[in-house]
Chains A and B, each alone.
Chain A
C-alpha cells in the first residue's frame, strides 16, 4: 500500500467552498527511462484518480507519464452534507487503493 496524505477539513459550514488535497506516494515511472542494464524500466504510473462525495463523483483525473513522482492533487468542492469523501486510484500494475475522509457539515 502506498502511503498517502489526505487533507479534508473535518468540519465545514453548509455551502462553504473547501479545498481538498491528496498527496500520494508513487514512483510514477514514465516507461521512457532505462535501468542500469540498458533496458527500459516498465511504465508504472497512476492512470486514474477519482473522488466521490457520498457516492457521487465530484472529481476525476487521468494522469500521464509527464506527471512527477508522488503526485499532489488539489481541488475545490462545495460542502453540501455530512458524510464520506472517498478517494480511489489505480496504477499500471492494476493496484487499486481506496482512502476515505469524514466531513461534518453544519
Chain B
C-alpha cells in the first residue's frame, strides 16, 4: 500500500473500511488527538517559550543569524551571499525537512543540509554534529518557519525511507525491550518517572531543553530515549536517525513549527 500524507491517508482509510479491510495504522494517534509537547508543559514553561525575550533558545537563534551573515571557508562566502535574507529564502524550508537529496539518493536533515552547503559551496570544514555553531544555524533557519505547518515527506521518493523510519519507530529494542510506539503512541499522557509522556511530535527542534540547560537537536533527543530503554544509540548523523526524523516529521504532518521551542 502506498503511504500518503496523513490527511490523504484518512481518506484512504475510510476507503479501506468501506471495503471491509482494517487499516494497518490502527494504533496511530488520531489526527484530532495530536498534541504538541507544548500542551503537556507547565504554564511557566509555556510562558518561557512564548516570550522571545525570555526564551533561552532565542540566544542561539541570534548566534545563528550572525553565522548566516559571516563568511566561511576557502570560497569566502557567507550563507547570505547565496541565499540572501533568511527571512525570505528560508521561510518554510525547515517545515519540509528532512528532504530528499538527489545526489545522495536519500533524505538529509536540516543539519546535514547545512553541513553539505558548508562543504561544497563554502569549501569549509563541516561543523561537528551537535556543535553550538551547527545548532545555531539550524535553529536560525528553522525559526524562519515558525508557525508554518510541517509538510515533510511529500516527495514520493521519500516513501521507502518513511517506511524504514516507521519500522524503527515500531521496533522493540534495548534491554528494556520498548519501541518508541510503546510509549508515544500507546501511553502518551501517562507519567514516566514523574514526567508526562508526550506524543513525540518534533515540532520545535532544535529546542532548548531545561534538563540539558542548552539547545539540542532531535537526534540528541532520540539518543536520550534510546539510552533510556538501554539500547545502543545510532551515531549522530547516521541514516537510521535521519529516517526516524523523517518519519516523525511525516507523522506530525500539518502541525505548526515552534522553533526554538522550550521543553522540560
Q: Which residues of A contact B (CB under 8 A)?
A: 3, 5-7, 21, 23, 25, 28, 68-70, 72, 74
Q: In whole Å, how far is A68's beta carbon from the nearest beta carbon of chain B?
A: 5
Contacts of B59 in A (CB 8 A): 3, 5, 23, 25, 70
B213 and A70 within 8 A (CB): yes
Q: Confirm or deny: B54 has a beta carbon within 8 angstroms of a beta carbon on chain A.
A: yes
Interface bracket on B:
10 to 19
Instruction: Verify if B214 is at the interface (C-beta below 8 Å from A).
Output: yes
Contact between chains at B53 and A69 (CB < 8 Å): no
B56→A21 contact, CB < 8 A: no
- Measured CB to CB, the nearest residue on chain B to A22 is B53
Query: Is B75 an interface residue when CB atoms closer than 8 A count as contact?
Result: no
Closest 5 CB pairs of A and B: A7-B53, A69-B213, A25-B59, A70-B56, A3-B59
Least CB distance, A75 to chain B, in whole angstroms: 13
A-B contact pairs, 16 of them (CB 8 A): A3-B59, A3-B62, A5-B54, A6-B53, A7-B53, A21-B51, A21-B53, A23-B53, A23-B56, A25-B56, A28-B213, A68-B210, A68-B213, A72-B48, A72-B54, A74-B54
Residues in A neighbouring B214, C-beta threshold 8 A: 69
Compute how far the CA of A28 lies from the CA of B214 in the bound complex, rounded to whole angstroms.
11
Q: Could you say which residues of chain B place their CB within 8 Å of the CB of A23?
A: 53-54, 56, 58-59
The chain B residue sitting closest to A5, CB to CB, is B53
Binary contact readout B184-228 vs A (1 if CB under 8 angstroms, 0 otherwise): 000000000000000000000000001001100000000000000
Residue of A nearest to B52 (CB): A5
The docked-state distance in angstroms from the alpha carbon of A68 to that of B253 is 34
B119 within 8 A of A: no
Are B62 and A72 in contact (CB-based, < 8 A)? no
Chain A: CB-nearest residue to B62: A3
Asked if B163 CB lies within 8 Å of chain A CBs, one says no
* Chain B residue with Cβ nearest A68: B213
A40 to chain B, nearest CB (A): 18
